[in-house]
Structures are given as structure tokens and as C-alpha cells.
Amino acid sequence: MNVGRSVFSQLMAFLPDREFRRCVARYHGDRRFRGFSCWDQFLCMAFAQLTYRESLRDIEACLRSSADRLYHLGIRGKVSRSTLADANERHDWRIFADFAQILIRRARRLYAGDPFGVDLDQAAYALDSTTVDLCLALFPWARFRESKGAVKLHTLVDLHGNIPTFVHITNGLVHDVNILDELVLEAGAFYVMDRGYLDFERLYRLTLAAAFFVTRTKENVQLQRRYSHRVEPDSGVRSDQTVVLATAASYRNYPAPLRRIRYFDTDQRRFLVFLTNNFELPALTVAQLYRARWQVELFFKWIKQHLRIKAFFGTSENAVRAQIWIAIAVYVLVAIVRKELRLTASLYQILQVVSVTIFEREPILRALQPDNNQEKSGPIFNQLNLWGL
């Protein structure tokens, strides 16, 4: 079935192209078709992500050097720097955002049963943001500081498989806590976040939605103890208390009891104080849940190191958003391929192998077999490999 097909075309075959066409039609993406479709743009940008291209000129040079293969890669339009730049400016970024969400839903089903180190039956998510610095002279719409530009990626990661389920891109001035207003809350799920999201009025909305949160408290938060619960000293948990907010203004924003857990982190040699609205989980499990929050930090490090979201191929807001969403789609696609082909290689290893075999005409399963990875990629595997992905 795969005889004569390149690794790239086999990889793209995992994409639901019918769903992509629906996304294009929803935003009239090919209404002003000029010989270079949204699908051509997606494939060229995915190629750039998978092969670590640095610029539009770089993409053009690489693809034109294999012009006889473009048709078999699925690219029908004429690839040129100006054409791709025009597509990045004109094709609505929401096409790629909606398509990435389709892939995310598929990936979540595949990874739903994956453990993440915490004994928990419910869904668990980690919420955080990362800042991508931009040159203000080239990206004047992304003002962050007086002489600096930036965009923020606010991301909710499903801890089962480290799949991003919600991504909201804003300029750098938007405070993290505002993103709590954008979340579609899932009853019974746990939302783990750092103390930058400590806003009791917004957190109370999670309680009203029957969702749970785990966060850290701040030193200036005044809490009044109501009950103390028994703890196991050897577990690292020093106290487990039911508390209420002590000031009238705070109590109006959150008029329900909270649970305060004081935990000693032996690795960092420091005390951590957690707040949660869940009173059923063991205190140690709450501490472990917060520790799992670092998965979202590792996700940010991974995509910044291995995908192109720090150097952009266009300067408009539309081009930046489109590139970020295509990068997320490529990340999720590789995760889907890893699970559906039952590969033991990490996402990092798969990306490295694909980058050097992208034009090879061999079955993708053979190309990505673990016993071939060392041979094809050599000493590059001594580099950092984050959390097995």
C-alpha cells in the first residue's frame, strides 16, 4: 500500500483531509484561490516544522530542489517565497486552529488511559502560559513592553498523554488569571495551576461548576482554620486543614470552605502550601497532582526546542497565529502516529527520524522502528529528551 510513497506523504495520510476541507469552507479559505490552497499552505508549513526550516527562502529552496516530488507530497500549488508569504497573511488562522482541535480530540481518545504518576480516576489538566518574545519593530501589534513585543500561549494540557486541549493566544499584556474566564469547565475534573491564577472569584466558578482546582496560596492570603485532619508524618504532609477566607471581601468572592495542605518537598528542601476545593483525595495525592503540573512546563520547553514557534515566517498577527497552530497540529499528529503505530520511540526521536527520512520511499513503520532510529540519527540522541516525549 505504501510502495512509492514518501515518509512525509504517509505521515500526512493520518490527517483527516475531509475535516480539513470543512474547516476551510467554514472560513471561506479558498474563496480567492490563486493556485495555492490552504492545504498547500498547511503541507508546506508542516514540512518546515518537521525539517527545521529557518525561513520562507529556506522552505522554497528545499521544496524546489525536489520539485518532481511535490505532487506525491500532496502539494499541488507552485511553491515560492512570495506565494507562501501571501498565504500566511491571507488564509484565516482559525482554519488551522479548528483543524488542530479536531486532531486534539482524536489524540485525547488515544491517550485517555495513559498514567501520569498519580492514582486518579478523574480527568486532570495543568494550566499555564509561556511568553514568546518578538521584535516590536517587526511586530508592532504585539506590544508588551516599551521596546519589546511578545505573544502569550495560554495552554491547558491533559495530563493523560500531555496533549494540549485548550490553547489561547494573546498579546503579552494579558494577565494569566483572565484565561480562567475562557475555559469550558468539565464537572469532576481537576485543574492544576500555579499561584498566578489565584483569584477567588474566578476559582469559585470552578466550585459552582462541580470542578476541582489545586493551586498554591500566597503569603498575604488570610485564612482562618476550622478543622485539622490527621496526617501521616512520613508522607511529607505536615498539615491538612479545612479553612475559610478571613477577610470579608475575600469571603464574599469565595463563601465556601477550602482545604489547606502544607507539604515539605524533599527535593527542593522547602515547604509548599496548597489550596484545593476537594476534600476527598488523600493529602499526598493533592501534592502529587501539583507536582504533575510541571508537565505543562515541559510541554512548553519541548515545542520551543523542537518546533518553529520562536522564529516566524510572517510578521502579521494572522501569520503568527497560523504558524503556532500548525506547529501544535504537527505535535499532535506525531503523538497520534506514535500511538496508532504502537511505537516505543519518543516524540523527539520520531521527529528526528522523520527529518532525515522525509523524502525516503519506505514504509513509515519500518522507518520509525526503534532498531533503525540509532542507525539513522546517530549521536543526536544524546541530546535532552524531555519526559519520554
Compute and round to an integer the Cα radius of gyration of the chain: 23
Q: What is the pLDDT of residues 197-241, one digit of tens each?
A: 999 999 999 999 999 999 999 989 999 999 999 998 788 899 999
Query: What sign results for the dihedral spanned by CA atoms 158, 164, 165, 169?
Result: positive
pLDDT tens, position by position, for the chain (389 residues)? 455 788 999 999 999 999 999 999 999 988 876 778 899 999 999 999 999 888 999 988 888 877 777 777 778 878 889 999 999 999 999 999 999 999 999 999 999 888 888 989 899 999 999 999 999 889 999 989 888 899 999 999 999 989 999 999 999 999 999 999 999 999 999 999 999 999 999 999 999 999 999 999 998 999 999 999 999 878 889 999 999 999 999 999 999 999 999 999 888 889 999 999 999 999 999 999 999 999 999 899 888 888 888 889 999 999 999 999 999 999 999 999 999 999 988 888 898 899 888 888 888 888 887 555 444 444 433 444 443 55
Q: How far apart are CA 347 and CA 350, in angstroms?
A: 5
Complete domains list, the chain, with CATH? 7-96+314-388 (no CATH), 195-282 (3.30.1370)
CB neighbours of residue 63 within 10 Å: 22
Q: How far apart are CA 211 and CA 286, in angstroms?
A: 15
Residue carrying C-alpha cell 503568527: 320
Q: What is the pLDDT of residues 66-120, one digit of tens each?
A: 777 777 777 887 888 999 999 999 999 999 999 999 999 999 999 988 888 898 9
Q: How far apart are CA 136 and CA 367, in angstroms?
A: 42
Q: How far apart are CA 374 and CA 363, in angstroms?
A: 18
The residue type found at 315 is T
Nearest to 256 by CA among 302, 291, 213, 288: 213
Q: Are 193 and 159 in contact (CB under 8 A)?
A: no
What are the distances in angstroms from CA 354 to CA 290, 358, 388? 34, 5, 17
Torsions phi, psi for 231 (to 5 deg): -130, 160
Residue ranges of alpha helices (H) inside the chain are 7-12, 17-26, 38-51, 56-64, 70-73, 81-90, 93-111, 200-208, 248-253, 283-292, 294-306, 317-340, 347-357, 364-367, 370-377
The residue type found at 226 is R
